[in-house]
Chain A
Amino acid sequence: MADKIEKDAVSGTETTGHEWDGIKELNTPLPKWWLYTLYVCCGWAAVMCLLYPSIPGIHGYWHGVLGYSSRAAAMEGVKEIDARHAVPLGQIGETPIDVVVKNPKLLETAMESGRITFANNCAPCHGQNGTGRPGYPALGDDVWLWGGKLTDIQTTVTHGIRSADTEARQSQMPSFGTDNILTPAQIQQVADYVGVWWGVTPSGTDVTAGAKLFADNCVACHGDKGQGNHDFGAPPLNAHIHLYGGTHDAIVAQVTHPRQGVMPNWNARLDSATIKSVAIYVHSLGGGE
């Protein structure tokens, strides 16, 4: 090897002086600014590590000089949204529900607030999006025990059903079986009669006795055609929707010793604007009544 920098004979390029089995490496150097750019990036990374939460420890982590926290930033965002909703929610509280739905701006806030409120408070019983389940009515269908207008729903949510509220919706179906108002045989006849309306009673069954019993005992609340009555929360019987099941046995059980649901009065937990919002949302699930 020579004292001076060796040049490759073919390409005329300097070599690095390294040699492996006679193969030499050409020196094609990177520009210096490239190296400095790397140093700048390393420095940048170090500064960012210093400024922001970065290095995990055993009992915590480095919080950074700026004290940034993504959780705090998210909470800031929540506060901002709350502040933005405060004005329309205040207006919803002061406006009759029928007027709220005619104001697109208020309606938008009400629907959003109602959707979230429903998911947090109502969905545990009524199911996601008011799917409903045995004992808890579906809210997207066309049967409304206590009325499906906006104001009806608002009243039901506010005061509840058979709740502690003095203005709660109240009704009591007699226990026809356990209170010995009807005999078990008579209850079978009544069940046969109403079962005709949705086809659970085999065709050809003689229901004249049941019809007579129905007229004497049930018509006052459920109506002469089994159409139901909002005033007593009496469900329509000429329908294919059954809160406690639509089989013959389920009817017999319900007439013998009725189960009756309780819904809490939400005025104890939610403000009036939120109740209106949730009523508007529930109404939108199936279009109400």
Chain B
Amino acid sequence: MNAVPDPKTAAPPVSLYANREKVYTKDVYGPVRSAKSTILVACLAVYYTLPWLRWDRGPGVPNQALLLDLWHERFYFFNIVLWPQDIYLLTFALILGAVALFLVTSLFGRLWCGYTCPQTVWTDLFMMVERWIEGDRNTRMKRDAGPWVWDKIWRKALTHYIWLGIAFWTGGAWIMYYVDAPTVVVEFWTGRASSEVYAMTALFTATTYLLAGWAREQVCTYMCPWPRFQSAMLDEQSLIVTYEGYRGEPRGHGRRSGAEALGDCIDCNACVHVCPTGIDIRDGLQLECIGCGLCIDACNHVMEKTDQQPWLITWDTLARQKAKAEGRTEKLHLIRPRTLIYLGALMLCFAAVIWGISGRSTTTLSLIHDRAPLFIRLRDGGIRNGYTVKLANKTQSAATYVLTVAGLNGARVSLPESAPGLAPDAIFNVLPSQVGNFRLMVQGMPDASGGGSQNIYVTLKNANTGEILRYRALFLSPAPEKD
């Protein structure tokens, strides 16, 4: 039966939409904070300087070490140049990234979220700016609650000004991964860059400013899918940031000895105040926790001041915690079926990427038969077929190719657009990193037993490297008349 609520006694309607409670993070120092800062600087340094790295690839080819040249359909990664047909390698690379993330998470929790995720890195950077201009947690809370006086106005304005500056720098650097960095910088400031460059810079400036300045932990909690399926990667043997409840509880301010002794936790909320997502780690493992461990630093200071053992909040596994609560000790189980499976998958993907990259042919050839005419009858009774030859030279130097045809009586070839004379072989020149398109005519006396269609076998030899490519094509002729 449905319980019909009595309007007089029913609970007041609750809002289906939650107001955001702003998170004011408190500054903290300690080994975790130092590690996090070091990683932050390293990540930003890589991001901002990578496009400026040069890599000589010879004349006529971009010399940027890492360039995703969408316009010319080439991806440059140092000495590797990827063509559109190599895009499947990206699939392996993405799987590789995902499996690596699975492995790390199942071993050590959300290290990626806490230290290297761009959302974390830029949010952390923006928080540092905020702290520098507007002061620490209490000062900011007090000022935010107060009226809009000059002190508040200029501090807010300066914070957002610097945020926008960083965001613009971030958005601008993003563009440099897609176009030549030194060129686009000059073009950008002289107004000669394409409208796409300006639009994309504006877009990434806006998203950086919004996501790192305003959205922050909302991205992790509501937008990102990763927190939702991380629970599938974690188990009771994963090292996660955790509060040693058996030691800390019952928490409270008061006596630490005697019959009703409290636990080690003095309930000072220091761990809550430093948390970038504004949660209480003492509630246990939760979706919002990005595993950054700043609460560990905060708690250790308090433990030190209160003359207690540090590491009340620490990295530990749920199994070990349970064992400790029961007075046992348990070893760390880093090697377990889950991690072995992830490791195996990781190796497999890694091997696939290496195999894919090293096994790429430097040339691809295809012969596309003309749709009309299917065949051409010749003066001497022979038959001629027309093809479009697509020849991709993936090397970084100009190449000369020699094409010969076998499997057709008296086969001879001609290039109607450049060398109409009949010859036993055709010669193609293709510039470095280009696709050549050629019209090719093949003529000869078709095999009467073929019934109007037979295979011919094309051999393509790179005259420079000696590399040989074989291709099977169809040769069409009039079908013999039926009796």
The interface of chain A, by Cβ under 8 A from chain B, is: 1-6, 14, 16-17, 19-21, 27, 29-35, 111, 127-132, 138, 140-143, 198, 236, 239-241, 283-288
Instruction: List the A residue with the shortest CB-CB distance to B215.
Output: A33
Contact call A34/B222, Cβ cutoff below 8 A: yes
Q: Which residues of B are found within 8 Å of A132, using beta-carbon distances?
A: 373
Chain B 414-430 near chain A by CB (<8 Å), digits 1 or 0:
11110010000000000
- Judge whether B465 is part of the interface by a CB distance below 8 angstroms: no
Q: Which of B14-22, B61-69, B318-326 contacts A (4 or more CB under 8 A)?
A: B14-22
Contact call B373/A287, Cβ cutoff below 8 A: no
- Judge whether B389 is part of the interface by a CB distance below 8 angstroms: no
A3 CA / B7 CA spacing, docked (Å): 10
Q: Which residues of A are found within 8 Å of B417, using beta-carbon distances?
A: 111, 284, 287
Contact call B373/A32, Cβ cutoff below 8 A: no
Q: Which of A16, A128, A143 contacts B379 (CB 8 A)?
A: A143
Contact call B17/A34, Cβ cutoff below 8 A: yes
Query: Is chain B's binding surface mostly helix, strand, loop or mixed?
Result: loop
Q: Which of B81-89, B90-98, B252-260, B380-388 contacts A (4 or more CB under 8 A)?
A: B380-388
Q: Which residues of A are found within 8 Å of B372, using beta-carbon distances?
A: 127-129, 131
- Judge whether B56 is part of the interface by a CB distance below 8 angstroms: no
Q: Which residues of B are found within 8 Å of A33, using beta-carbon distances?
A: 20, 215, 218
Q: If A1-B5, A30-B17 touch, does A140 touch B11 (CB 8 Å cutoff)?
A: no
Contact call B5/A31, Cβ cutoff below 8 A: no
A286 CA / B413 CA spacing, docked (Å): 11
- Judge whether B9 is part of the interface by a CB distance below 8 angstroms: yes
A-B contact pairs, 24 of them (CB 8 A): A4-B12, A14-B14, A17-B10, A17-B13, A19-B2, A29-B14, A29-B16, A31-B20, A32-B18, A34-B17, A128-B372, A128-B373, A129-B370, A132-B373, A140-B376, A141-B377, A141-B384, A198-B381, A240-B379, A241-B379, A286-B376, A286-B416, A287-B417, A288-B416
Q: If A131-B373, A141-B384 touch, does A31 touch B6 (CB 8 Å cutoff)?
A: no
Contact call B11/A2, Cβ cutoff below 8 A: yes
A155 to chain B, nearest CB (A): 19
Contact call B377/A21, Cβ cutoff below 8 A: no
Instruction: List the B residue with the shortest CB-CB distance to A128.
Output: B372
- Judge whether B439 is part of the interface by a CB distance below 8 angstroms: yes
B373 to chain A, nearest CB (A): 4
Q: Which residues of A are found within 8 Å of B15, using beta-carbon distances?
A: 29
B442 to chain A, nearest CB (A): 12
A139 CA / B218 CA spacing, docked (Å): 69
Contact call A287/B441, Cβ cutoff below 8 A: yes
B18 to chain A, nearest CB (A): 4
- Judge whether B378 is part of the interface by a CB distance below 8 angstroms: yes
Contact call A240/B377, Cβ cutoff below 8 A: yes
Contact call A27/B16, Cβ cutoff below 8 A: yes
B288 to chain A, nearest CB (A): 13
- Judge whether B232 is part of the interface by a CB distance below 8 angstroms: no
Q: Which of B379, B384, B386 contacts A239 (CB 8 A)?
A: B379
Q: Which residues of A are found within 8 Å of B20, using beta-carbon distances?
A: 31-33
Extra contacts, 11 of them, besides A1-B6, A3-B12, A29-B18 (Cβ < 8 A), are: A1-B5, A21-B1, A27-B14, A29-B16, A31-B17, A31-B18, A129-B370, A129-B371, A130-B373, A240-B381, A287-B415
Instruction: List the A residue with the shortest CB-CB distance to B223.
Output: A34
Q: Which residues of B are found within 8 Å of A5, using beta-carbon distances?
A: 11-12, 14
Chain B 14-54 near chain A by CB (<8 Å), digits 1 or 0:
11111110000000000000000000000000000000000
B415 to chain A, nearest CB (A): 8
